[in-house]
Amino acid sequence: MKAKKNLKRLLSILLYSLMLVGLFTMTAFAEGATPIDVSNSEKLSDAINRINADTDTNNEYVINLTADIETSGFEVQSPCHVTILGNGHTLTVGQRGSITINAGAQLDLGSKDGDILKICSVSGVSNDVPGLLDVKGTCNMYTGVTLSGRVGNNYFGGGATVQGGTFHMYGGTIENCGIRGGSVCYGGGVAVIYGGTFVMDDGVIKNCFVESSYLDYWDPETCFTAMGGGVFVSGGSSFVIKEGTVLDNSATNMGGGIAVVSAYEEIATGLGNLKSSAEILGGVIQKNSAKTGAGVFASAYYYAWADGICATTPTIGSSAKPGIYIENAQILGNIADTTDGYGGGVFVSGLKSPAVASIKGTTVKGNKAAMGGGVASYVYWTNMNIDGSSITENTATIKGGGFLAVNNTSGGKTTIKDTVLCNNLAGEAASDVYLNKAPLTLPSAGSMDSLYLDKPDEVNNRKIDGWYIDAAASRYTEQNKDARVEYAGYDNIPASNEICLIAAVNQPQAKITFKNEDGSTVSEEWYPFGTRAEDISLPDAFKASDDTYDYIFESWSPEIKDVTQDAVYTANFKKVFKKFTVQYEFNSTSSDKKLPDEVMALLPEDVAHYSLNQRIEAKVPSKTSVEVEGGKWVFKGFDKDHITANMENADNTGRVKFVGRWEFVAEEVPGTPTTPSTPTTPSTPTTPITPADPTTPAETNSGIGVTNPQTGDNSCLVLWSTLFVASVFGIAGIAVCSRRKRVR
């Protein structure tokens, strides 16, 4: 019996384990993907052959590397969905080999979960072969995947070559790849050609390069090769970067970070035609280097020479929106040649309609070149729009620290609006803007709302108020105040000869700032030195009400003064209760008497809410006299007849008080009668004296009113005797009663 129970328990555990394994398998290989574990090159080759033999588009395969593997390269031909997971391992590809994804095939490198997969090249130079990835179909690359170490010669693409296919980089890194030498030297990190598409959602392309000393036969002073150290786009292809970084890449000639150029076949059909596009919709283009266009290079004047690299030249594609679109990006610290290079941050050349050159919402900062440190436009038909961007702190060793445009004489024009273009430097002239036969529309310098941060010291750190001449013969920094020449007509500059400009200051100004109590800014305005206090525009300060208080502006602190320097004024607010209430209290005027409940019940009630400065009349209690034992309580009135609802009269809860006084009046009580004293024994009356015989009265004039004479004492002896006897008996009775009580 016990054995049977143990057997059942064992079977239960086994079934549970099988369920877990099944669940794990479903999780790891969703939707029926077939896993294939490979530990060496032979097994990898067998896996690829097995997959390529499968033509069912619904099937999926997952190749799991269980060890580091070396391969000469392979092709994915099957329409099945194929994934390679590195599991932390490295796949090393031979010098002349590539991982090729043919048209109609799909290969995923890594996974959304961040699988670690390294794909690197055998050291040395790979001649006339594509990059580590040769994408003619579809390839997706995820975070955790690294492509590195491929150095090619005379081809497109070191890390990846996208030939008419689609390469989607969701993350990961392409690094230390490049093309060195040869007449075809394009795309050290990634080359997108012949109608290919490269989408970069995230990730990094860094330390890639294109290096060549090749000189053009027809123009030996110009090298048309070695372009696109990080990314190269040509032949009707498209590149979209949404996030990610293109960092520390280099090109001998053009486009250290990104290069978008016409193919030779396009130029042959008409100079200025560009069928490719680059949409830089975010991300960072930083610390790249090249002779010209160190950060971003876009041109239909310079072209890519690609004759003979393919036995059969693929058909050139055509992007839906050719040109260069830069939006919400950061172009920082890129360096072009400081002797004769153009466009440290961005260089655009010869883009004929319908190709577009657009920079919007982008920061161009800290870039450097000989000409046009920040942005440069060159040759004939280029139409460029710069909107809502910032071009600052760029440097030109010669001219055009911020922006440069030259020889744009065939209908092209640059329009700059809502953009901060200032505080750039130039060694010889035109710290901010250099023009030579190039039309331009500029915004008002004052609208930039920026400070001037250079010499002369008298206007350093003052608000920029205009465009001024900054020519080689008359540098703004060397001018005294009276010699400064303001440039008018900046909003429509024609294609004239050399114009050198700087956004600067003529009259020193101070920034007057008004702030709320919480430190937030109410307004900032600039005023010339000497502006009187009464001429300063005072803003409306505001502080939001809370549950208890409204806030009323009182004053600015400190007191506003004439403008002699920057100043900050802070709003003072008086807090006022949003609603006032009334409380009634009764007090006794008799310190030894507590008010009874009958009196306290007469407290007036007032549930009303009163507004600021409202007059409130006291409510008289319904009774002003209350009878109680021993007397009565009398209402003597409130401490005040009325009160005004304000902060001075209210307590910390918004209540105002009326205090009523009550006085106790005691009842008049009659006094207790006193005990009569014992009467004294009357003395024995004396014998009355016998009266003398009356004499005969004298005759009067009239007998009317004559009274009889008194004959003796008027006292009543009977009355006195009675009282005496009653007193004796009373005393005796009291004595007897007292004796009886003692006996008891």
> pLDDT tens digits for 419-457?
999 999 999 999 999 999 999 999 999 999 999 999 998
Instruction: Name the H helices within 178-334.
Output: 264-268
pLDDT (average), residues 114-123: 96
pLDDT of residue 326 exceeding 90, the answer is yes
Closest CA to 501 of 528, 466, 538, 532: 466
**String of DSSP letters for 158-214:** SSEEEESSEEEESS-EEES-EEESSS-EE-SSEEEETT-EEEESS-EEES-EEE---
Torsion of CA 276, 280, 281, 282, to 10 degrees: 160
pLDDT (average), residues 44-53: 97
Closest CA to 254 of 239, 278, 232, 286: 232
pTM (two decimals): 0.72
Those residues whose C-beta lies under 8 Å from the C-beta of residue 20, and which sit 6 or more positions away, are none
pLDDT of residue 264 exceeding 70, the answer is yes
Question: Residue 683 — left, alpha, or beta (φ > 0 → left; ψ -120 to 50 → alpha)?
Answer: beta
Q: Cα(174)–Cα(171) distance, rounded to whole angstroms?
A: 10
Q: Poorest-confidence range of 20-24, 161-165, 219-223?
A: 20-24
Handedness of CA 323, 328, 333, 339 (dihedral sign): positive
More confident residue, 171 or 630: 171
pLDDT (average), residues 656-666: 92
Which pLDDT score, from 0 to 100, does residue 408 have? 92
pLDDT of residue 381 exceeding 70, the answer is yes
- The percent of residues in the chain predicted with pLDDT above 90, rounded, is 65
pLDDT of residue 212 exceeding 80, the answer is yes
pLDDT of residue 367 exceeding 80, the answer is yes
pLDDT of residue 676 exceeding 50, the answer is yes
Cα of first residue to Cα of last residue in the chain, in angstroms, is 105
Which pLDDT score, from 0 to 100, does residue 575 have? 85
pLDDT of residue 727 exceeding 80, the answer is no
pLDDT of residue 15 exceeding 60, the answer is no
Question: Residue 303 — left, alpha, or beta (φ > 0 → left; ψ -120 to 50 → alpha)?
Answer: beta
Which pLDDT score, from 0 to 100, does residue 347 have? 98
Which pLDDT score, from 0 to 100, does residue 740 have? 46
Closest CA to 445 of 423, 460, 461, 478: 423
Which pLDDT score, from 0 to 100, does residue 545 have? 86
pLDDT of residue 722 exceeding 70, the answer is no
Which pLDDT score, from 0 to 100, does residue 713 have? 46
Q: What is the chain's mean pLDDT, rounded?
A: 86
CB 496 within 8 A of CB 460: no
pLDDT of residue 224 exceeding 50, the answer is yes
Which pLDDT score, from 0 to 100, does residue 481 have? 83
pLDDT of residue 685 exceeding 80, the answer is no
- The percent of residues in the chain predicted with pLDDT above 70, rounded, is 83
Structure tokens at 10: 């064992």
More confident residue, 174 or 225: 174
Which pLDDT score, from 0 to 100, does residue 715 have? 44
More confident residue, 299 or 10: 299
Q: What confidence category does residue 697 fall into, taking pLDDT thresholds of 50, 70 and 90?
A: very low
Q: How far is CA 106 from CA 24, 50, 70, 170, in A?
A: 25, 15, 22, 15
Closest CA to 197 of 158, 155, 146, 231: 231
pLDDT (average), residues 654-662: 92
More confident residue, 452 or 714: 452
Which pLDDT score, from 0 to 100, does residue 544 have? 87
Q: What confidence category does residue 107 fall into, taking pLDDT thresholds of 50, 70 and 90?
A: very high
Which pLDDT score, from 0 to 100, does residue 21 have? 38
Which pLDDT score, from 0 to 100, does residue 642 have? 94
pLDDT (average), residues 317-330: 90
Q: What confidence category does residue 41 fall into, taking pLDDT thresholds of 50, 70 and 90?
A: very high
Per the DSSP assignment, residues forming a β-bridge with 467 are: 503
Which pLDDT score, from 0 to 100, does residue 683 have? 61
Which pLDDT score, from 0 to 100, does residue 83 have? 98
Distance of CA 194 to the CA centre of its chain: 43
pLDDT of residue 510 exceeding 80, the answer is yes
Per the DSSP assignment, residues forming a β-bridge with 284 are: 245, 330
Q: What confidence category does residue 269 fall into, taking pLDDT thresholds of 50, 70 and 90?
A: confident
Contacts 24+ apart (CB under 8 A), 567-572: 567/510, 567/511, 567/512, 567/513, 568/513, 568/514, 568/515, 569/512, 569/513, 569/514, 569/515, 570/514, 570/515, 570/516, 570/517, 571/514, 571/515, 571/516, 571/517, 571/522, 571/541, 571/543, 572/517
Which pLDDT score, from 0 to 100, does residue 219 have? 67
Which pLDDT score, from 0 to 100, does residue 271 have? 75
Q: What confidence category does residue 699 fall into, taking pLDDT thresholds of 50, 70 and 90?
A: very low
Which pLDDT score, from 0 to 100, does residue 215 have? 75
pLDDT single digits (tens) 515-538: 998 899 999 998 988 999 999 999
Q: Cα(485)–Cα(392) distance, rounded to whole angstroms?
A: 22
CA angle 91, 96, 99 (to 5 degrees): 45
H-run or E-run covering 463: strand 462-463
Those residues whose C-beta lies under 8 Å from the C-beta of residue 242, and which sit 6 or more positions away, are 199, 200, 201, 202, 281, 282, 283
Structure tokens at 687: 């014998």
pLDDT of residue 62 exceeding 50, the answer is yes
Which pLDDT score, from 0 to 100, does residue 690 have? 57
Q: Poorest-confidence range of 221-225, 415-419, 614-618, 631-635?
A: 221-225
Q: What confidence category does residue 673 fall into, taking pLDDT thresholds of 50, 70 and 90?
A: low
Which pLDDT score, from 0 to 100, does residue 214 have? 82
